[in-house]
Chain A
């Protein structure tokens, strides 16, 4: 009987355009669309920034070391023009109105200090809101510093290698997979949690509040099936919708990676491919199933209680923020899956997924996370059953 109800509700749900939009179309299209726009805009910005000729304001001598060095900068640092200023106030003013993009101030004693082989400061002005200008300014300053250093080595007749006794080498022992998991792994659980929630939302409201609103629940309750069977049949569809929405969102993300050249680094792309194993997908669903049941169990009592579609929507939508916000914890580095975090719902799923991607998942913590989510799912099903059984709730 549960299967009969499940199949009927599934058919009914799949014929609802609004649910199909939320369950299939939006999840599968959102990432290709967002990434397409994002990559398009950012690559065009990068291109523009690299090709842009910037004007550097210089306070110092016209034939001095700084202006001479800047006029001979190699093309890979980007083209630049020099404009001389007498004081820093007018330079800053021009920087503010973007008539110049960076400024270099050297004191009047700069040239003399160079000759006397003394250290001398130079000040670099830039506008931090101008994206990419800081790194470009650093490149120019490093170039000037390198030229001054080489000049001094020559004058002192020194080999550069002889004044650098230690050559440090930094070795990262974390694998690329681990790095990807810990740094970017937060996005994956966020996606499936957010879409899992949205995927459950419309069918939950449609199958419970909608049934009340349309006046179909009364006839269903006069059939010989129990309310528990009705609840399970309907809940099955709500859970399946959540799982499908999450899965379609993940499919959308992976299609974007495969087809839109999102990851340019081939090594990184290989790491992404190596993550997508059967074991990974199965473990992900092991966490997703109790999570989606928990979501369904949260929404169904509300949907049963609400008298209209609007009322249900107005209660469930803020719940979205409460549930999905903890999923953002995955974006913060340094928060690890341990005994405490494994006991916190939603957060345990996020951190377990991150660890799963990184390949550092502790099976004990995975089990605890699964048990915690399973327990909460059971409680939420029980609450749904209690609410669905209330006479005051099931009929308007």
Chain B
């Protein structure tokens, strides 16, 4: 479970950034007054246009960034005081995740399993299952640099799931991927949900959200505009389709 309350994130601006943004302020607020809750066995979607603050929120959930204000609780652990324990319980996947091109998929998965302290016998079983599930046997010993985008994404999925995380965070996971590769990700999100994991994913593609999520939060310019279940979002809809409704909410904000 993820619980977020009154989350705020400010970034310091250097001289160059101040000039670019044409501001005299020394900080910029990327995220402000964000509160939401993600339940296990449900898929929570963070929806917003580019630059809305989705990635910043997810990076704070993954404890890469420290919040300026507010509280994050993941699996009943406070993100400020138990960052390492939280990282042990989460899997993080982005559409732009890079991989070590000079390693083979197996070496990479083994490396991450070691970082998550997965015991060898469990690693062997889990890796074998994931390789079969993702059809990775043919390329698991080839250098990652020589793999196709789809194969690389499978490696990323395997890397995310190797420590069997309780919470899975996806940051625009299908961004830039072809339909077949994106389908692997969608299947993974569904699997995670059916296994009772807490899933949060960010997107700006409404059709993807419609297909997968149970709960939705719409954010724009770092502020929360809507937060409820997907069913309730559909009921409140005044536009002809979900995309039009999303655009209307953004424009009215």
Please give the residue numbers on chain A whose beta carbons come within 8 Å of chain B beta carbons, in ascending order.
Answer: 1, 4-5, 8, 11-12, 15-16, 214-216, 218-226, 391-392, 394-395
Contacts and interface: CB of A to CB of B under 8 A. Distances in A.
B90 A226 contact: no
24 contacts: A4-B115, A8-B103, A8-B107, A8-B111, A12-B102, A12-B103, A15-B102, A214-B98, A214-B101, A215-B98, A216-B97, A216-B98, A216-B100, A218-B59, A218-B97, A219-B98, A219-B112, A223-B87, A223-B115, A224-B84, A224-B85, A224-B87, A224-B88, A394-B64
A4 B110 CA distance: 10
- In this complex, the member of A15, A214, A222, A394 whose beta carbon has the largest number of chain B beta carbons within 10 angstroms is A222
A4 B85 contact: no
Contacts of A4: 111, 114-115
Given A4-B115, A222-B64, A224-B85, A215 B96 contact: yes
Given A1-B115, A224-B85, A391-B65, A12 B100 contact: yes
Nearest to A17: B102
Contacts of B90: 222
A45 B148 CA distance: 58
A216 B99 contact: yes
Contacts of B88: 224
Interface in B57-111: 59, 62-66, 84-85, 87-88, 90, 92, 94, 96-103, 107, 111
- In this complex, the member of B66, B98, B101, B117 whose beta carbon has the largest number of chain A beta carbons within 10 angstroms is B98
Contacts of B100: 8, 12, 214, 216
A219 B159 contact: yes
Contacts of A8: 100, 103, 107, 111
A395 B9 CA distance: 15
A218 B62 CA distance: 10
Nearest to A216: B98
B33 interface: no
Contacts of A219: 92, 97-98, 112, 159
Contacts of A223: 87, 112, 115-116
B92 A222 contact: yes
Nearest to A4: B114
Interface in B225-248: none
A215 B96 CA distance: 7
A225 B115 contact: yes
Contacts of B159: 219
Nearest to B156: A219
B146 interface: no
- In this complex, the member of B59, B96, B100 whose beta carbon has the largest number of chain A beta carbons within 10 angstroms is B100
Contact of B115 (A224, A391, A394): A224
A218 B63 CA distance: 11
What 9 A-B pairs come out closest when comparing CB atoms? A215-B98, A214-B98, A15-B102, A222-B92, A223-B115, A216-B98, A224-B88, A224-B87, A222-B62
Nearest to B14: A392
B92 A218 contact: yes
Contacts of B103: 8, 11-12, 15
A11 B107 CA distance: 10
Contact of A392 (B11, B84, B107, B116): B11
B253 to A, nearest CB: 27
A225 B85 CA distance: 10
A220 B100 CA distance: 11
Contacts of A394: 64
A94 to B, nearest CB: 66
- In this complex, the member of B62, B65, B114 whose beta carbon has the largest number of chain A beta carbons within 10 angstroms is B114
B84 A218 contact: no
B137 interface: no
A225 B111 CA distance: 12
Contacts of B63: 222
Contacts of B85: 224
Interface string B13-41: 01000000000000000000000000000
B66 A391 contact: yes
B14 to A, nearest CB: 8
B64 A395 contact: yes
Contacts of B115: 1, 4-5, 220, 223-225
A277 to B, nearest CB: 39
B12 interface: yes
A218 B102 contact: no
A215 B97 contact: yes
A24 B33 CA distance: 55
Contacts of A218: 59, 64, 92, 94, 97
A224 B163 CA distance: 11
A392 B98 contact: no
A219 B116 CA distance: 12
Nearest to B117: A224
Contacts of A214: 98-101
Contacts of B112: 219, 223
A221 B111 contact: no
A215 B112 CA distance: 16
Nearest to A214: B98
Given A214-B101, A215-B94, A216-B99, 18 more contacts: A1-B115, A8-B100, A8-B103, A11-B102, A215-B96, A215-B98, A218-B64, A218-B97, A219-B97, A219-B98, A221-B64, A222-B62, A223-B87, A223-B115, A224-B85, A224-B115, A225-B115, A392-B11
